[in-house]
Amino acid sequence: MGKSTLFNRIVGSRIAIVAEESGVTRDRQFADTDWAGRNFLLVDTGGISDVPERPLDREVREQVLEAIERAQAVVLVTDGRDGPHPVDEHVADLLRRSGRPVVLAVNKLDDPATTVAHHEFHSLGLGEPVPVSALSGRGSGDLLDRVVAALPDPGEEEAVPVGLRLSVIGRPNVGKSSFVNRLLGEERVLVHAEAGTTRDAIDTYLEFEGERVCLIDTAGLRRRSKVDDAIEFYSRLRATSAIQRSDVCLLVVDCVAGVANQDFRIGEEAWNAGRGLILVANKWDLIEERGPDALAAFEKELRKRAHYLRWVPIVTTSALSGKRVRKVLEIARDVQAQRTRRIPTAEVNRVLQALLARKQPPQGGRGDVRIYYGSQVDTQPPLFVLWSNRPKDLKTSYIRFLSNGFRREWGFEGSPIRVRARERNDADRHGR
């Protein structure tokens, strides 16, 4: 039908996966968008069947029905080239019984201004059909005018800004969607025994202590050598994009099956992207019976296998029972506070001079290497710049020594920090 193509056209971004096969969209996909000064949340659903056969088809149908129940208005997308289909009639009947306002979009009409094919869809009894072409965008403005007119009056209520964006990342089938559902307290994300059920990056929202939090549930990230078809390929792109637009990433691992090298690679991708990071050890209820020393041994092994985990909080949870799941939100908020923390320049130089007194930069063959002063120039993640007479002669190991010293002084738990060297003349040109 082209629902996901139309969704992407309206929000102005390729959020939902589009492919030349039916049934690609399984979960509900959320995106904030606006038209004619009206902000609203747009939801892309899976395709509904009048006679679902597989268990997964039935679950997708339940998701669609729930989306209809929660909606203030519904857009029914049909295929203008094929004409009305029995499934269209079935869905139209469902929508009439729902009582929701319905806008009927007849898609795949490349020239909506001259076509008459959409008139056939009057037979569905849903009012005047709107001819559109999701691929070219023609007719989408008329469609959005109808959508905005169908929405209830917003009154004086203002949109609540998102305070924190969290992406839930990890390998397939480690319990990410179950973890998200436990946080939300409802089955908002499809959970199924089939690995890789979540293909798109799904945005949903919750309120936590007066703050609106966006949760992005992503498709499981596999090694690139395992991505062997277009859907898996685009799923990986969406998951990587989800990392880029999040503040803090929650790396969910299965501590019963064991933490694999791919888990560490996924975490490193988020860390290198400058995002906050928390390792969520799921299914811990099946491990803690091993005794009080199990957690210390588990953490020690993880931090030994991945250097960046020295600075990352590790939270043991159970998505099944809900144990410590909400605690993750508290820690994520603290991690974001570390990402946005700014250290005064005087404090940076106090600590820097103490580190230089303890260990001078290794000297190169071209003369003394000096560091004159430093300052923090950015946040998210924190970025420190050191001004030196020979920045290219500062070895990576020495920069790491300074970075570790900054961490010992200021923490920055869960957040990467970056330390870069510049030539002193660069500072002079900026008025220092």
Strand order in the sheet with 371-378: 371-378, 383-388, 418-423
What pLDDT shows up at residue 278?
96
Residue entry with tokens 């001078």: 360
As for how many domains the chain has, the answer is 3
Residue-number span of the structural domain to which 395 is assigned: 345-429
Last residue within a domain, chosen from 150, 173, 202: 150
Question: For each of the chain's 432 residues, which pLDDT tens digit applies?
Answer: 577 888 888 887 665 544 444 444 444 566 678 898 888 878 887 766 655 555 556 666 776 777 788 788 999 999 888 888 888 888 888 889 889 999 999 998 877 656 778 888 999 999 999 999 988 888 999 999 999 999 987 654 445 577 899 998 888 778 888 888 888 876 555 444 444 444 455 677 888 888 888 888 665 545 555 544 444 444 555 667 778 889 999 999 988 888 888 889 889 989 999 999 999 999 888 887 777 788 888 888 888 889 899 999 999 998 888 889 999 999 999 999 999 999 999 999 999 999 999 998 887 666 688 899 999 999 999 999 999 988 888 889 999 999 999 999 999 999 999 999 998 864 454 444
Do 130 and 169 reside in the same domain of the chain? no
Instruction: Assess if residue 280 is contained within a domain.
Output: yes
Tokens of 180: 């998200």
In our burial notation (b when 16+ CB lie closer than 10 A, e otherwise), range 382-405 reads bbbbbbbebbebbeeebbeebbeb
What pLDDT shows up at residue 146?
95
Last residue within a domain, chosen from 339, 365, 386: 339
What pLDDT shows up at residue 26?
45
To the nearest 10°, report the CA torsion of 409, 413, 416, 420.
-10
Do 215 and 282 reside in the same domain of the chain? yes
Please give the model's pTM, rounded to 2 decimal places: 0.62
Do 233 and 357 reside in the same domain of the chain? no
What pLDDT shows up at residue 364?
63
What pLDDT shows up at residue 176?
83
Those residues with Cβ within 8 angstroms of residue 343's Cβ, 6 or more apart along the chain or in another chain: 376, 382, 410
Instruction: Assess if residue 156 is contained within a domain.
Output: no
What pLDDT shows up at residue 272?
92
Do 213 and 349 reside in the same domain of the chain? no
